[in-house]
Amino acid sequence: MKTNRRRLAACAAVAGLAMLAGCADVSYYWQSASGHLGLMRAARPVDQWLEDPSTSDALKAKLELTTRLRRFAVTELGLPDNDSYKAYADLHRNAAIWNVVAASPHSLTLKTWCFPVAGCVGYRGYYDEAAAKAEAAELQAQGLETSVYPVPAYSTLGWMNWAGGDPLLSTFIGYPEGELARIVFHELAHQVLYVPGDTMFNESFATAVERIGGTRWLKTHASEAARTEYEQFDARRQQFRALTAETRRALQDIYTSKEAQAKDWEVVDARKKAAMEEFRQRYAALRAGWTGPRQGAYDGWVARANNATFGAQAAYDELVPGFEALFEREGEDWPRFYAAVKQLAKLPKDGRAQALRTMTSSPTDLMQTQAPCCKPQNTNNTKNGAPGV
């Protein structure tokens, strides 16, 4: 009965939130509210799934693993201890939502959408894939480059913890141990800190937490087989990230070149085409050297690569080195690190990004040039975050 009351209250809260943007976007907000409520209704406590004789042994093993991951997140990483990821939902589809991203033909800057709680972000999520593709088609008709990609998990910013929190989902529960650890840590990190309107800061922070936390989990708790599997795939991921980062820089140089400033689009487009061809050729060479499972994990991304996909990827990667350097500067102490990040968040958007980029060139510069920003404080974790992907 208590669970039902909480769900009814959650229905009212989410439906009310959907109305905040006004009538012009009511259909979009309604699909958001009803989609999330459907996800919540499908969730049952992990203990119930474990006690259910119809639950497969494979699923039980994964759910038991997530229980240990959840405990590790709290005790070792200082992440919030609440109801999130203590229930599980089988969605009977391959994604929690589908995100739409868009950018102009001559820029990596993403189009943004503004929402009542999250602020302005560079993506728009749909619970129905066809609706996401229809949105992308409309944006393409306006001359934008677009991408639609599946999202296995997202965060409700900690706002729904009172109603049961964010559940574990069938869309990612089957991931290998290292990847499952990372996604749980990433989404919980969004409940530590959220800066409205700064997708790159929010996502890079959560990605840094997932990378550092995932590495620690594998080193101290995982089996040798799990570590080997993760290390093999992560080595490929690092190679791929290095390649895409180089390509982003090449494209950015093209879009800010003297030809672009002169609006000589014929030359700009020719250089862009050459850069994309080189990217795909270099990826093919990389892939040829890979063996074993998930060899073609990036094939689809590469085939669809455009300004929108590169722009979206930058949000998750661009500032991660700065956060990692900040973690090291704070003595690899999680409370001090989170306190320093919260101080960073008080800077203007450009200021916080520049401060993080400074961290990678000189670990002491940030403290010297932005002393009010990053003085370690003994503060508690906040319970809000940003939409995850």
First to last CA, the chain: 32
pLDDT confidence of residue 361: 66
Predicted confidence at residue 114, as pLDDT, reads 87
Residues 80, 85, 87, 91, Cα dihedral to 10°: 150
C-alpha 189/C-alpha 215 separation (Å) is 15
Digitized pLDDT (tens) for each residue of the chain, 389 residues in all: 445 544 444 444 444 444 333 444 788 988 998 999 999 999 999 999 999 999 999 999 999 999 999 999 999 999 999 999 999 999 999 999 999 999 999 999 999 998 877 788 899 999 999 999 999 999 999 999 999 999 999 998 888 788 788 999 999 999 999 999 999 999 999 999 999 989 999 999 999 999 999 999 999 999 999 999 999 999 999 999 999 999 999 999 999 999 999 999 999 999 999 999 999 999 999 999 998 778 889 999 999 999 999 999 998 889 999 999 999 999 999 999 999 999 999 999 999 999 999 988 644 443 333 333 333 233 233 333 333 33
User: Any idea where the domains of the chain sit in the sequence?
Assistant: 45-221, 225-317, 320-374
Task: Residue 67: name the closest of 45, 51, 89, 36 by CA.
Answer: 45
Q: pTM here?
A: 0.84
Give the pLDDT of residue 246. Answer: 97
The two three-digit tokens of residue 351, written as one number? 């200021």
172 φ, ψ (degrees, to nearest 5): -140, -5
Which own/partner contact pairs does 321-324 have at CB distance under 8 Å and 24+ positions apart?
321/359, 321/360, 322/204, 322/355, 322/356, 322/357, 322/358, 322/359, 322/360, 323/204, 323/205, 323/207, 323/208, 323/209, 323/356, 324/208, 324/211, 324/212
Residue 89 has φ and ψ, to the nearest 5°, of -130, 135
